Amino acid sequence: MKTRFSRFFISPLFKGEAMDREVLSVDSEFNQVLQSDACRLEQLQCHTSASGHSFNRFFWGNKKSLVDDIEKGINLREQILKLYNENYHGGLMKLVVIGGESLDILEDWVLELFSHVKEGPQLKVVALYNAPIWQSGKLYKLEAVEEVHSLNLTWALSCLNNEYLKKPQDYLSHLLQHEGKGSVYFILKSKGWITSLSAGVAGDGMSRSRVAYIFSMCIHLTDSGLEKVYDVIGIVYQYIKLLQQTSPQNWIFKELQEIGNLMFKFAEEQPQDDYAAELADIQYEPWFGSRFNEEIIPDSLLKVWGDPPEINLSLHLPSKNVFIPNDFFIRNADSSQNQARSHHPFCLIDEPLIKLWYKLDDTFKVSRASTYFLVTLKGGVYNDIRSYLLADLFAVLLRDELNEMLYQAGITELGTTLAFTGDSLLLQLYGFNDKLIVLLSKILTIAKSFIPSADRFKVIKEEMERSLRNANLNPLSHSSYLRMQLLVEVFWDVDDQLLCLVDLSLADLEEFIPKLLVQLHIEGLCHGNLSEEEAINIADIFKCNLSTEPLPVNLRHKERVLCLPSGANLVKDVRVKNKFEENSVVQVYFQIEVDTGQEATKLGALADLFEDIVQEPLFDQLRTKEQLGYVVECSVRVTNRVLGFCFCVQSSKYNPVYLHGRIDNFINSVEKLLVCI
């Protein structure tokens, strides 16, 4: 394998048939994203850049762009060889080798395998920023595939490769996308104009290059925000003026520096191939058919944005982050714990209201912890679609109420998941353990007395309606949705949800909340750098804030999955939701017989092993050789604890019947594959 890798940089074959297959793969990849709003926007930015600029090109590539050149008399293979001969030399390369062997052995391998790479001049990396990329003062309106209102502001900064010690783009990103009081997000959210905001320099090659650093701000607008789009932009520029008037704050820089150091010091190990690629990289719209129009922004507006006459008094810098951890002490097991308790999660508390499992981390010994809680609600919540939607609305509105606090915690890698799933509220906290209990206490204190406001109900309901209308536009996600619809006993169709949601009011929710919390059962797991005493403290916080009647076992809803009869051959055939979508998807699902106890664990391990064995031959046959499509995959599926195995192919070239036949043909060859191992 090492020899094969090194020979590519010394004497690559560039076979004609391999290039033909790669052209088809490039075309399949392009067709996969043809209905992606993000990719359409990216290509519009290329299309509207200055003529002759390096951005003004088709970055994706497809069969048309490659084959047309061949028809014009350009030999594709000769062009690739020319590119290789001019650029693939030692002066422009970096080699990273990660291995468990000694440095001497690794060095010998490098000399043996790569000493024949041809030499070349080592070019000095310099910034290429010169002419403007885009003409300023232009507003482009792009037709979206999904029902979405998205405002994207873009600024071209000079190349910042040499400013890696200061990271000015990260300082700006931290402030412009902050969600605390005084931020752009907080002000626009309070006006009911936006639902989300992000800002910064992305990590892709277009956003970070010697040409420029592209700083972007993406704001998702509500219906009323769309009508106030110029006012939204005005608030952004008011905050920028505030930053211009306020010198960079040392305490903010130090806070970001401290968090960055923590992320580096306690970073979890990443796959070695990804890490090697990352290290090696450290160095100095006619195609989509998207409809858009171009408007000139009035000079009067540009003048106001460039130098706002006044700054909204509600705008100010963020407060200091109280969730930065200080305590990194590693908890040790009590010497009195028996061996079984130390190796497996055990039940620490078993009461009518709460059942708590606990496992101290004695393997990795890092100052992180994870807590997972399912708050099971009274069974009637899941018995009808109206109750299901009201419970979901409650969870989303509560998450919205907690947003400022959870955002601050998230900056320090103290993450939170709060969502309605099935008949339960899921609450997860994970990250550095020092402030985890503090955050949990704050969350539950707010939750126990939470009453949603009319303005936030209107915005959240509107966003949920939009999300339901956009559901299943992607064929891959649509196919997974259909599989779940067939298997899960209680499953609410998105169209039915939308019809019901439209009629729900704030009064309906206010009447529902007391019924939602009248009876509960809490089951959780505390794992990581937490002592038994701290885990018991967490349980006490729940009992203190959720002092309701315990939910009896017989009233707890249990998710059930349809048991497919042996030899079943069921087919569900559905048209894609987006009439312009060119891709078809086929999922072939096999349900695996249910086992319990240790046999279930063994069965799961065997299923994972089967996936590892079959994955590469499937890809090689259906994608590389048959060129069915860009997405060819197989994987284990676990549906409410029921194992299954799924084969999936997406193609813009072949119809579902043909794809199904080719998957079946491969499945018929699997037995021979296993015998040959």
Phi, psi angle pair for 4, to nearest 5°: -60, -40
Q: In what order do the strands lie in the sheet with 642-651?
A: 584-591, 642-651, 631-639
Q: For 398-450, write each residue's pLDDT tens digit.
A: 999 999 999 999 999 999 999 988 778 999 999 999 999 999 999 999 999 99
> 């915690």: which residue's tokens?
409
More confident residue, 425 or 274: 425
Nearest to 320 by CA among 450, 217, 408, 431: 408
Nearest to 614 by CA among 663, 561, 557: 663
More confident residue, 109 or 210: 109
Asked if the model's pLDDT at residue 129 lies above 60, the reply is no
DSSP string spanning 455-512?
HHHHHHHHHHHHHHHHTT-SHHHHHHHHHHHHHBSS---HHHHHHHHHT--HHHHHHH
Mean of the per-residue pLDDT values of the chain = 89
Taking phi first (over 0 means left), then psi (-120 to 50 degrees means alpha), and beta for anything else, what does residue 415 get?
beta
At residue 374, the pLDDT reads 94
> 């048309």: which residue's tokens?
64
Q: How confident is the model at residue 521 (pLDDT cuts 50, 70, 90)?
A: very high
Asked if the model's pLDDT at residue 284 lies above 50, the reply is no
339-555, CATH topology level:
Cytochrome Bc1 Complex; Chain A, domain 1 (3.30.830)
Asked if the model's pLDDT at residue 126 lies above 70, the reply is no
Asked if the model's pLDDT at residue 273 lies above 80, the reply is no
What's the CATH class of domain 138-306? Answer: alpha beta
584-675, CATH topology level:
Cytochrome Bc1 Complex; Chain A, domain 1 (3.30.830)
Q: How confident is the model at residue 283 (pLDDT cuts 50, 70, 90)?
A: very low
User: Sign of the CA dihedral 514, 515, 518, 524?
Assistant: negative
More confident residue, 621 or 147: 621
Asked if the model's pLDDT at residue 549 lies above 50, the reply is yes
Nearest to 663 by CA among 674, 652, 651: 651
Can you tell me whether residue 215 is helix, strand or coil?
Answer: strand
pTM higher than 0.85: no
Q: How confident is the model at residue 616 (pLDDT cuts 50, 70, 90)?
A: very high
Q: In which residue ranges of the chain is CATH 3.30.830.10 found?
A: 2-32+55-114, 138-306, 339-555, 584-675
Asked if the model's pLDDT at residue 289 lies above 80, the reply is no
Q: How confident is the model at residue 481 (pLDDT cuts 50, 70, 90)?
A: very high
Task: Judge contact between 461 and 393, C-beta under 8 A.
Answer: yes
| 134-138, 269-273, 372-376, 543-547: range with lowest mean pLDDT | 269-273
Q: What angle do CA 184, 190, 193 make, to 5 degrees?
A: 75
What's the CATH class of domain 2-32+55-114? Answer: alpha beta
At residue 677, the pLDDT reads 82
Distance CA 210, CA 217 (A): 21
At residue 429, the pLDDT reads 98
Q: What are 192's two structure tokens?
A: 């009911």
At residue 482, the pLDDT reads 95
Nearest to 420 by CA among 397, 391, 398: 391
Give the β-pairing of 150-157 and 346-350. Answer: unpaired
* Mean pLDDT of the 157-182 span: 92
More confident residue, 339 or 232: 232
